[in-house]
Chain A
């Protein structure tokens, strides 16, 4: 009976303490727990990746040899392009120096593996990656893949970072239409039941772009990229293509539905866009 009462009151006191915990302490507790769990999440994620790769490999042995030879050719072509671009970059730097242009391209990409899809409670559209403060990742940095925009970092611990996906209604991105130059604000459309599978983390609805000047012409298929306004997302990252557009019911501006370019439900690796000097600073700190 004594143990019962003690346990009961211990639980109640624990709950009260958790509820009234000051924000910095609650934050520290969260970070400690999350960092403590990160290695195990990493391990499970790696095991699942290996398993998925194994299954994929078994299913694609026939095409693997043909694809390999195609890739060899593709790599050679890309290498050629890299050399050309390198030459152009050098030329560009020289010209910028000559013009006294301040270098804004000091951003670096930090590669991260997705170790959890969605958060534990299931209310928001997030992913967790195995890169954190120790790798130079901070809150409110853009996260991209080679196809386009993924989202922004939301909470960062030493070892992990939570990324709010662009499909979440809480995510807002300043964007630009490439063809017309029209500016707008893009927000996530949430998720829908269409095309559902257990594998899916989210079936993204088209994004909604609002507040576009009504005199600008927006066509289906127009490409949408980030505008760089707001400072979180770099300029020119591809976001999606217009599916349909029209005048908003208020009659004051245009709205458009935009289909995302990145397959968010199949993300395995992403890049965090980090200022270059931060990475170098972290590397210096580590080498000490």
Chain B
């Protein structure tokens, strides 16, 4: 059931990310719903859940984008999953604040990581301030999406019986 929910929610997340435009005042960064899913599985479930969610999320994001070579987003999402897992395991777990901070920093980190991979191949032309603006946008939206996705998925998992009652994320 975990895998079914993961695939379903990743499909919904990529559609939401593709359809809803990013706000211009946050550097036109898309709402990182996929990252929210990845971080939930990395922070609240096992590491391999997070990594496999990252692989699928990366595949979907790269497939839906004309320029990005396959695997780039998956690499970034996996790094995000590792970071999320590390935070939940060694620093703080469960609280909404920890999740929000992790989402924020990971959101900004994803923008930088993807930018470095893309600029190496000459695929993006973005100035320093535009990049900084995008990173800021990524942090704000990352924090938001991670908390919303965490809340939503925890309840879905609870309904499906994938989580014990006491394990359910109760950050909000």
Interface residues of A, Cβ cutoff 8 Å to B = 3-8, 10-12, 14-15, 18-21, 26, 29-30, 33-34, 37, 40-41, 44-45, 48, 115-124, 126, 128, 154-155, 162, 164, 169-170, 190-193, 196-203
In the assembled complex, the CB of A241 is this many whole angstroms from the nearest CB of chain B, namely 23
Task: Bin chain B's interface residue count.
Answer: 35 or more
State which of B18, B29, B48 has its C-beta within 8 Å of the C-beta of A7.
B48
In the assembled complex, the CB of A234 is this many whole angstroms from the nearest CB of chain B, namely 23
Known: A48-B19, A120-B14. A21 touches B66 (CB 8 A): no
Q: Which residues of A contact B114 (CB under 8 A)?
A: 121, 123
Contact B71 A7, beta carbon cutoff 8 Å: no
Contact B49 A120, beta carbon cutoff 8 Å: no
Q: Which residues of B contact A7 (CB under 8 A)?
A: 46, 48-49, 51-52
Taking chain B's interface residues, is the majority helix, strand, or loop, or is none over half, making it mixed? helix
Interface residues of B, Cβ cutoff 8 Å to A = 11, 14-15, 17-19, 21-25, 28-30, 34, 46-49, 51-52, 54-55, 58-71, 73-75, 78, 114-115, 118, 123-126, 130, 133-134
Contact A117 B21, beta carbon cutoff 8 Å: yes
Known: A21-B71, A44-B15. A11 touches B61 (CB 8 A): no
A-B contact pairs, 28 of them (CB 8 A): A4-B47, A4-B48, A11-B78, A14-B52, A15-B78, A18-B74, A19-B75, A21-B71, A30-B62, A34-B63, A37-B11, A37-B18, A37-B64, A40-B11, A115-B19, A116-B19, A119-B65, A120-B60, A121-B65, A122-B134, A123-B118, A123-B124, A124-B65, A190-B125, A193-B24, A193-B133, A196-B24, A200-B21
Which chain A residue has the least Cβ–Cβ distance from B62?
A30
Contact A19 B70, beta carbon cutoff 8 Å: yes
Contact A118 B30, beta carbon cutoff 8 Å: yes
Taking chain A's interface residues, is the majority helix, strand, or loop, or is none over half, making it mixed? mixed
Known: A4-B46, A4-B47, A21-B70. A33 touches B60 (CB 8 A): yes
Contact B23 A34, beta carbon cutoff 8 Å: no
Contact A11 B52, beta carbon cutoff 8 Å: yes
Contact A124 B19, beta carbon cutoff 8 Å: no
Q: Give Cα distance in the complex from A29 to B65, angstroms.
A: 12
Q: Give Cα distance in the complex from A115 to B115, angstroms.
A: 26
Contact B51 A198, beta carbon cutoff 8 Å: no
In the assembled complex, the CB of B34 is this many whole angstroms from the nearest CB of chain A, namely 8
- 8 closest A-B pairs by beta carbon, nearest first, are A7-B48, A196-B24, A11-B51, A33-B63, A18-B71, A19-B71, A26-B70, A122-B30
